[in-house]
Amino acid sequence: MIDLASPLKADTFTHIRIVVGIITGLCMTRLLNGLSRFIQQPNRDHVFFAHIGWTFFLLLDMVNFWWFQIRLSNVTSWNFELYLFILFYASLYFFTCTILYPDKIDNISRMDDYFLSRRAWFFGLLIVLNITDLIDTSLKGQAYLFSLGWPYVLHLSVFVVLCGFAIRSRQIRFHKGFAAFAIVEECVWAISAYSSIA
């Protein structure tokens, strides 16, 4: 029989991290499979560089997500609501990845038309991801949140505002530039904020 009154003997964080790792793995698999299709079946009309740019951004962002979730090991009291929140956060990445690479990508003749037709969903999910990141960072403790300081707030704010513009814009040059900016900004942020987990 299970004694529900006794404290857990298993490491709760490790248990949760495994489930989050499975979701993250599914996301990366979808993105890498999508990229490999461009290599397997190169077609000039099928390649849209903003789409490829956002693919690389999401790969980098998920690597960062997996890296900084180690901070959850400092959470002293876990509950089911927090567990569901972390699963929700990880699942947002999966839904965002499915926008970039739907199940039937072979039926799409032009990736630029497809991407622009789904931009509200894609950038809307990126906005929700950033808001969720702020909540997640707060859950790691006020000291951790304050240690990131104003660069963290600026990092989120600028990205959310640009996503708002991206939802409205159909200009391909803007989308290419935003994707390039997002990759560079994510690299700079990762190196400055998450280069060490000590």
pLDDT single digits (tens) 66-116: 887 777 777 777 788 888 999 999 999 999 999 988 887 666 667 778 888
Say which DSSP state 7 is in.
P
Tell me the longest C-alpha to C-alpha distance in the chain. Answer: 63
| Whole-angstrom distance, CA of residue 79 vs CA of residue 52 | 38
- Going by pLDDT thresholds of 50, 70 and 90, the confidence category of residue 3 is very low
Phi, psi (deg, nearest 5) at residue 169: -90, 140
Q: Which residue has the higher pLDDT, 19 or 108?
A: 19
Angle among Cα 67, 73, 78 to the nearest 5 degrees reads: 125
Q: How high is the pLDDT of residue 77? A: 77
pLDDT at 146 over 50: yes
Query: Tokens 């989308």, residue?
Result: 175
Q: Is the dihedral of CA 189, 54, 85, 21 positive or negative?
A: negative
pTM here is 0.86
User: pLDDT tens for residues 158-183?
Assistant: 999 999 999 999 999 999 999 999 99
Q: Which residue has the higher pLDDT, 63 or 178?
A: 178
Give helix 142-168 / helix 119-139 axis angle, nearest 10°. Answer: 170
CA separation (Å) from 171 to 48, 81, 94, 148?
13, 41, 26, 34
Mean pLDDT of the chain: 84
| Whole-angstrom distance, CA of residue 71 vs CA of residue 102 | 32
CB 178 within 8 A of CB 166: yes
